[in-house]
């Protein structure tokens, strides 16, 4: 529960296999942002047999739509958005090599199955801690869909972004286990 693990994408099968639910992880290096509208466009590309705007193999997608950067800021506030809205899209991306997703809230059984089958993990960042999390972002640039504004895909360089493993490759779920542990009556 209290192990703290350092990760730097791109991640291999071995990197994600060693992660267990409840593990505290700090991520450094490059991650990508994407939420509702960007996911829909990525899936439209895949359906049309086209390449994605970035190589997804081994990467982590952070479900976030940041506030605009103030002058002198790298990025505005940047906490996670609720993940279930990406459930319809995630299995196709996991199948193509996506290794990690950062968001908040429970994933569907289909996504959990895909994580088991293709070896990927789901992390939670603290929802509503946007000001705090933005401090871990060192660089940000839009790599696709600038017209989507906050929903554009950005490449972020992060330094020690703190997350918790919620779903591991063995099909465990911290949301279910955590609730069970503290339920009364």
Separation CA 75–CA 131 (nearest Å): 10
Reply yes or no on whether 39 is catalytic: yes
* Complex with another protein: residue 111 or 118, whichever CB lies closer: 111
Match 């952070």 to its residue by tokens. 62
**Could you give the string, one character per residue 24-53, with x where binding to another protein holds by CB under 8 A and - elsewhere?**
------------xx----------------
Please check whether residue 86 is in contact with residue 36, taking contact to mean a CB–CB distance below 8 angstroms.
Answer: yes
Instruction: Confirm or reject binding of residue 108 to another protein (CB under 8 A).
Output: no
Instruction: Confirm or reject binding of residue 20 to another protein (CB under 8 A).
Output: no
Instruction: Confirm or reject binding of residue 145 to another protein (CB under 8 A).
Output: no
The binder of another protein chosen from 44, 45, 110, 131 (CB under 8 A): 131
Which segment (51-59, 86-94, 119-127, 138-146) binds another protein by CB under 8 A?
119-127
Q: Which residues contact 112 (CB under 8 A, 6 or more apart)?
A: 167, 171, 173
- For residue 151, how far is the Cα from the chain centroid? 14
Q: Which long-range contacts (CB under 8 A, 24 or more apart) does 114-117 make?
A: 114/90, 115/167, 115/168, 115/169, 115/171, 116/169, 116/170, 116/171
* Complex with another protein: residue 75 or 118, whichever CB lies closer: 75
**Could you give the string, one character per residue 66-85, with x where binding to another protein holds by CB under 8 A and - elsewhere?**
xxxxx--x--xxxx-xx-x-
Pairing outcome for strands 60-62 and 137-144: unpaired
Among 15, 16, 34, 39, the active-site one is: 39
Element (H, E) at 155: strand 153-167
Q: Would you name the residues annotated as active-site residues?
A: 39
Query: What are the residues binding another protein (CB under 8 A)?
Result: 1, 22, 36-37, 64-70, 73, 76-79, 81-82, 84, 104-106, 124, 126-132, 134-135, 148-151, 164, 166, 174-175, 177-185
């Amino acid at each position: 529960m209290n192990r703290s693990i350092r990760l730097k994408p791109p991640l291999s099968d071995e990197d994600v296999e060693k992660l267990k639910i409840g593990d505290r992880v700090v991520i450094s290096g490059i991650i990508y942002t994407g939420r509702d509208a960007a996911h829909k466009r990525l899936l439209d590309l895949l359906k049309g047999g086209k390449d994605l705007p970035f190589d997804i193999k081994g990467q982590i997608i952070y479900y976030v739509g940041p506030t605009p950067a103030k002058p002198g800021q790298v990025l505005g506030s940047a906490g996670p958005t609720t993940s279930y809205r990406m459930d319809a899209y995630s299995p196709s991306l996991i199948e193509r090599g996506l290794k990690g997703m950062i968001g908040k809230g429970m994933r569907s059984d289909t996504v959990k199955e895909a994580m088991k089958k293709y070896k990927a993990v789901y992390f939670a960042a603290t929802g509503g801690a946007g000001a705090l999390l933005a401090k871990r972002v060192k660089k940000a640039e839009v790599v696709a869909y600038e017209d989507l504004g906050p929903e554009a895909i950005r490449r972020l360089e992060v330094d020690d972004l703190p997350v918790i493993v919620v779903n591991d490759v063995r099909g465990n779920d911290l949301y279910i286990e955590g609730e069970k542990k503290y339920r009364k009556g």
